[in-house]
Amino acid sequence: MKISRRGLLAGAVGLGAAPAAGVRAGPSRLPAPRDFLWGAAISGHQSEGNNTNSDSWVRENVRPTLFAERSGDACDSYHRYREDIAVAAELGFNSYRFGIEWSRIEPSEGFYSNAELDHYARVLETCHAYGLKPVVTFNHFTTPIWFAARGGFETPDSPDLFAAYCARAAGHLGGLMHLATTFNEANIALLVELFPQNEASRAAGKAMIDAAARATGSPGFSSLAFADPAVTTPLLQAAHRKAYDAIKAAQPNLPVGLTLTTQDIQPVGENSLADVYRARLYGDWIKVAQTHADFFGVQTYTRFRVGPAGVLPPPPGAELTDAGYEYYPEALANTIRWAHATIGKPIYVTENGIATNDDARRIAFIDQALAGVRECLADGIPVHAYLHWSLLDNFEWTSGFGKHFGLVAVDRETFKRTPKPSARHLGAIARASSI
């Protein structure tokens, strides 16, 4: 069992052929729409380092644990944020997506750290100084220890607690944000439920949560990816609605959106369960997006082929990414089309990328994904951004540092940032603002 979508997909779709080499020639490009956002994304816990007051830090450090290694210093982006932002700007991007950490801002219930809020204000000011429009995620999977220990998003008052944090952060950070989203992939637990987990995996996840409960002195310790989505989903939906209202009350002109994990679910054969699986993955989140979002964040990595018995393995000989799921950049256009037809909000690609050590394949993936975006735009679909996951090779949750999604390599000892050819490639596209 994995905490993140990127880890989850690897175990869900089975094994196939090894990645292939080579890069296809890039397509001819067209001018991007005016004000189109080009950039890359990171999250707080995965890049900042030493997020010691978070529930993930507890789970990484207890025994037994599902984590291959601890996050530790991560990429030290908490201190090196200016360097990260400068790299993004130098590459040619005009936008930067990052997360603020609830566990830093509200380290104990009801106490808000103005020092930490000032830190994130400086991050935002630095974005503006380098000409980057900041896209801020208020929650990217992690929560404060005190919140997890009291039951997380399994307690009836959790929506109010989350909304209070969002109100305080939005009020302090003011008009420095260009766009905001509440949760990163609020339906992540529903993705877990699409795939049968063996007893050993379930037992290992429960053992880790039990160890975290003992470590925090709380029998009700709860983390999203390991909680019952039947309990957490309606509470998360209420939390998003209340947080949306709270952020808009603090910043009425700030666009506030919703991101979901939006993998491409494709029917295979007669009596396919694709519609059933799609309904299980999104459920009432579609209604939430329609009523409480100014835009919708598409976050796509692969496809799931669904037959009459459920999810099928990748086709024989299919190329896999290093995360173990099918290399299928065409999925992005398909999920954009689904979101446009189903939700009807302005669409921002807030994550899209590939785990690989073959940077030529990352370049090919980017070109193929953008070809799909170009086709969607040609059909009149309102796509407003392409934000690649991720800027940095960072901490990939239970997989540790071994899965490389970054445009920029990070030396684990010195923290030196080294842009890869794919970074220059996407940067040149962004600088020309062509799709």
- Measured CA to CA, the distance from residue 236 to residue 229 in angstroms comes to 9
31 DSSP 8-state letter: B
Residue 256 has pLDDT above 60, yes or no: yes
The reported pLDDT for the residue numbered 199 is 81
pLDDT band, very low/low/confident/very high, at 17 (cuts 50, 70, 90): very low
Q: Is 268 exposed, middle or buried (0-12, 13-18, 19+ CB in 10 A)?
A: middle
The reported pLDDT for the residue numbered 196 is 78
Residue 245 has pLDDT above 60, yes or no: yes
Whether residue 85 lies inside any domain: the answer is yes
The alpha carbon torsion through 97, 103, 106, 108 (nearest 10 deg) reads 180
pLDDT band, very low/low/confident/very high, at 291 (cuts 50, 70, 90): very high
Mean pLDDT of 220-232: 94
Q: Domain count for the chain, please give it.
A: 1
Q: What is the rounded average pLDDT for all residues in the chain? A: 93
The pTM for the full model equals 0.94
Higher-confidence position of 25 and 291: 291
For residue 274, give its domain range.
Answer: 5-15+35-432
SS3 281: helix
Residue 200 has pLDDT above 90, yes or no: no
Whether residue 22 lies inside any domain: the answer is no
Whether residue 24 lies inside any domain: the answer is no
The reported pLDDT for the residue numbered 43 is 98
**pLDDT tens per residue across span 148-175:** 999 999 999 999 999 999 999 999 998 9
Mean pLDDT of 98-113: 98
Selection from 415, 148, 183 nearest residue 289 by Cα: 183
The reported pLDDT for the residue numbered 25 is 39
Whether residue 28 lies inside any domain: the answer is no
In this structure, of 68-72, 223-227, 259-263, the range with the lowest mean pLDDT score is: 223-227
Residue 24 has pLDDT above 60, yes or no: no
Mean pLDDT of 31-48: 97
Residue 217 has pLDDT above 50, yes or no: yes
Whether residue 21 lies inside any domain: the answer is no
Whether residue 54 lies inside any domain: the answer is yes
H/E element, 261: strand 256-261
Whether residue 365 lies inside any domain: the answer is yes
The reported pLDDT for the residue numbered 369 is 98
User: 128 with 135: CB under 8 angstroms?
Assistant: no
Instruction: Residue 97: give its domain's CATH number.
Output: 3.20.20.80
H/E element, 115: helix 114-129
Whether residue 27 lies inside any domain: the answer is no
